[in-house]
Amino acid sequence: MAAATVSQPPVAAPAAIPAIPAIPGRNDSSDSSRSSQTITEKVKLSSPLRTSSFSKHRSSHEGHVPVDRSVSPKRWKTFLKAFKHIHDLTPKEVDDFMASYEIYNLDWANEEDMVKAFGPNYQQRVGDCLRSYYSVLNHLCSLGDVEKMYIPPLMDKKASVLDNQLLYEESVSRDIGLKPGMKVLDLGCGRGRVAAHMASFSGAQVTGLNIDENQVAQAREWNGQCGLSNEFVVHDQNDLPLPFADESFDAFYEIQALSLCKDPSASFKEIYRVLKPGAKFSLLDWVSLPAYDPADPIHAGLMRRVKPLIGAVGTPTPASFEKALMDAGFTVTKSDNPSIGGLQAPLIDKVDIYFRSIRRLIHGLVRLHALPPHFKLLFDRLCLDGQAFVQMDNMRLITTTYRIIAEKPLV
């Protein structure tokens, strides 16, 4: 079937990173020989989680780890709302979304190519593309189990994608020590569903930051309906400084938002500035792993296919993130892949199979003129190269679930 495709130049090798001190629990090979620290965490996850007045509405999936679903939206309502939004897209909104994929032809590290493609104000062009991209993508993702726009680490093999998200988010709350009354910054907050779960589970107050006005409006609406006092700000993470005073927050987390970050070193320094001494930092993001060889044509070909799928402009590595954090002043305390066996592929495959099934239905309805033609265009683009993503994860060339926990020193 015809699919909307984009041509892409070869991916450049990431810049060399100077040697850095060993990190406790460091494991960037994404293999099954996990650190003892991570194994201990798995044991903790298999025992009952703490309960509080903020996490009293809990349920379990087939006898496995209980999760807090008290602020999870009804899937059918979300599906219908997203479906209507996609149905009513204007031709310009569809065209802008498809055109936005041009930014994934390039890499932040190759500034000369960025200037050549978009001019000296290339960062503004990238920001415009991202707004067009996410204003549609968030609704496409909401038709499935990735309304939060991330595929989580594999925390429980028998759990759904949604429950693996909840399990991971609750592990973040523990990793950064969230407690009632604490203020936490969520970078790339999307539709505010993660923020709602964090606040419900821990009692903390979340401030979410996102580039897309549409998602921020949805975040405010949903968190208000849940009776939560979380706040949401429209802001491009690459537009520094961040709009917060020094030492405003007790903790920080981000989930797969840094693939769009132009300069992690500068961003981490800003996050360091707005965190209080002793505050903890949680990162879960995409990285290129040591097995990836940009000179290998198979590796490079897969990378050109996968980066547009996952929305990645940069090509970070575990070492580059660690160095940027330590240069900013943080102490890195954990650096690993929390997925069972170091593989996220089983969940990627679930999501891919679901959306390809939906695509077949969409194709049939478009042929019958029951849906406008742009449905086919959008779903062909959305479903392009899902199996390449699965292949790269199974080959341990990349992961979108690399975790780093860090801390701002007390002094």
Which of 16-20, 146-150, 298-302 is the most confident on average?
298-302
**What pLDDT score was predicted for residue 352?**
95
- 98 pLDDT exceeds 70? yes
Binned at pLDDT 50, 70 and 90, residue 172 comes out as very high
CA distance 109 to 37: 33
Residue 175 carries which side chain, given as an amino acid letter? D
Evaluate if residue 288 carries a pLDDT over 70: yes
- Reading the block at residue 14, the tokens are 């990431």
Average pLDDT, the chain: 85
Q: Is residue 64 very low, low, confident or very high in pLDDT (cuts 50, 70, 90)?
A: low
Rg over alpha carbons for the chain, rounded to the nearest Å, is: 20
* 3-state secondary structure at position 251: strand
Helices (H) and strands (E) in the chain, counts: 14, 9
pLDDT the model gives residue 63: 43
Mean pLDDT of 357-384: 96
pLDDT over 90 at 209, yes or no: yes
Tell me the percentage of the chain whose pLDDT exceeds 70.
Answer: 84
Residue pair 1/360 in contact by the 8 Å Cβ criterion: no
pLDDT in tens, 223-275: 999 999 999 999 999 999 999 999 999 999 999 999 888 899 999 999 999 99
Look at residue 59 and tell me whether its pLDDT is greater than 60: no
How large is the average pLDDT for residues 27-51? 39
Separation CA 62–CA 76 (nearest Å): 22
Q: What is the DSSP letter of 395?
A: T
Which of 96 and 279 is assigned the larger pLDDT? 279
Could you tell me which residues are beta bridge partners of residue 404? 283, 335
pLDDT of residue 28: 55
Beta carbons of 331 and 404 less than 8 angstroms apart = no
pLDDT digits (tens, 9 = 90+) for 310-325: 988 889 999 999 999 9
- What distance in Å separates the CA atoms of residue 42 and residue 34, rounded to the nearest whole number? 10
| pLDDT higher than threshold 80 for residue 27 | no
Q: What is the pLDDT of residue 52?
A: 39
Quote the pTM value. Answer: 0.82
Average pLDDT over residues 89-95: 93
Q: What is the pLDDT of residues 134-169, one digit of tens each?
A: 889 989 999 998 999 999 999 999 999 999 999 999
8-state DSSP, 372: -
Which carries the bigger pLDDT value, residue 102 or residue 39? 102
